[in-house]
Structure 1
Amino acid sequence: MERGPEELNQQDLVRYLEDRFACAQACDECVRVCAMRPGPAEPGGVARLNTACADVCDATSRVLAEQSDQDEQRVRMQVEWCRAVCLQCASLCDPHPASARCAEACRRCAKACDTFLTTLG
């Protein structure tokens, strides 16, 4: 039996929202680090993707925080989108030692998305 977002354990939801917040903060910090680097912009648009990742994490948190009258399909799509962007961001940050914290936060976020999707059923 699948559980809708309204039936999620409050503790699981809080933990998931904390992961989104941590990832968004790490991505924002990575954008600042990228902006401070001397020389040309990083190839592959690391700063742009970090900004997008932080935005997606924020949007996902807002969707889940609303919880009332949530369409499970909408929640599932939002969380899957968050997971995909986080994985992409982590792989783009991996080659850059200064972005290691961001990459790790994004991987934790993606793993939390997997866990959350399993919770939805």
Structure 2
Amino acid sequence: MTFAREMVLAHPGTIDIDIDVLSRCIDECLSCAQSCIACADACIAEETVAHLRQCIYFCLNCADVCETTEKILSRTAELDRGLARAMLPVCATTCKFCGAECKHHAEMGMKHCEVCEEACKRCQEACEALLAIL
């Protein structure tokens, strides 16, 4: 059991959203944010850092959006469904763009971009799944 799921279950309030879908989205947002931060850092360490500027910016923006989305979704006492419905597509789209940029560099052998691409894909899917049930 993940900490996100455990916290949702431990919350004294009630929530009428599928807890598995919600906690998966929170987990994937956290994982994606961490992967994006680490990928941006790895890009900075590459000898070809000048060619990775766009990837770095995509990763940093994606990390910020994922963190914000996770925070909104973690506030289940008074979950603002309107705000969640607005943020989830933004997060999914940001992950889609970041993942596409990372895929480009992964195909050139950058393992950190390959890992980040997968994290972005999983987060995008989790955001879309949660949006579908809100």
Structure 1 residue 34 and structure 2 residue 48: aligned? no
Residue 6 of structure 2 is matched in structure 1 by none
Structure 1 runs not aligned, ≥5 long? 1-5
Which of residues 65, 83, 86 is equivalent to 2:74?
A: 65
Identity within the alignment, %: 29
SS at structure 2 position matched to 1:16: helix
- Give deviations 1:86-120, integer Å, cap 9, x for gaps: 00001111111221110111011101111111121
Match of 1:101 among 108, 115, 119: 115
> Which amino acid in the other structure matches residue 12 of structure 1?
V
Shift, 1:72, TM fit = 1.6
- Report how far residue 40 of structure 1 moved: 4.5
Residue pairs, 1:1-121, within 5 angstroms: 6-42=15-51, 45-97=54-106, 98=110, 99-120=113-134
CA contact (8 A) 1:24 1:58 kept: yes
* Root-mean-square deviation over aligned CA pairs: 1.5
Deviation of the 1:68 alpha carbon: 2.7
For these two proteins, the number of residue pairs brought into alignment is 115
Tell me the TM-score normalized by structure 2: 0.79
Q: Which amino acid aligns with 1:113?
A: C
* Deviation readout 1:33-53 (Å, 9 max, x if unpaired): 110011452256110110110
Distance change in 2, residues 1:27/1:40 (3 Å)? closer
SS of residue paired to 2:93: helix
Q: Structure 2: which 5+ residue stretches go unaligned?
A: 1-14
